[in-house]
Amino acid sequence: MGAQSRALSLYRRIFRLHRRVLPPELRTLGDSYVKAEFQRHKEADAEFVEPFFEEWERYVDQLETQAMGMGGQGFGADLEAETARALSEEQQEQLLKLRQASLEAAAAAAAGSDRS
């Protein structure tokens, strides 16, 4: 499978998974992040393409496993220390922004469920 068709297949698979398992607040956050990341890597050098696919495939596997095991009650995983040390400054900043956005989405979801 070529890189372009593999990217499209993976992209669609992620969006279907988000639609199926994520609560609306996290789905909005996840969808926008996926769009931005795939757009950012659209013209990536060949050396980055395979690791990009591998990480997103690992994400799909992890999200599917968490959705089955927790009934959608919690998502996410801690970043391994070795992986965290290997991140560039730009990646660390992006991760911090993503963390903040996910905390805000979780707080919004909790506030919404409290009103029910």
Q: What is the pLDDT of residues 15-59, one digit of tens each?
A: 999 999 988 888 998 999 999 999 989 888 989 999 999 999 999
Has residue 72 got a pLDDT over 50? no
Of how many residues is the chain composed?
116
Q: pTM of the full predicted structure? A: 0.71
- pLDDT, position 36: 92
Sign (positive/negative) of CA torsion 78, 82, 87, 93?
positive
Which residue has 């068709």 as its token pair? Answer: 5
Task: Answer yes or no: are the C-beta atoms of 7 and 34 closer than 8 Å.
Answer: no
3-state secondary structure 4-53: HHHHHHHHHHHHHHHHHHCCHHHHHHHHHHHHHHHHHCCCCCHHHHHHHH
Determine the Cα–Cα distance for residues 79 and 92; give it in Å rounded to an integer: 12
Q: Express as a percent the part of the chain with pLDDT over 70.
A: 88
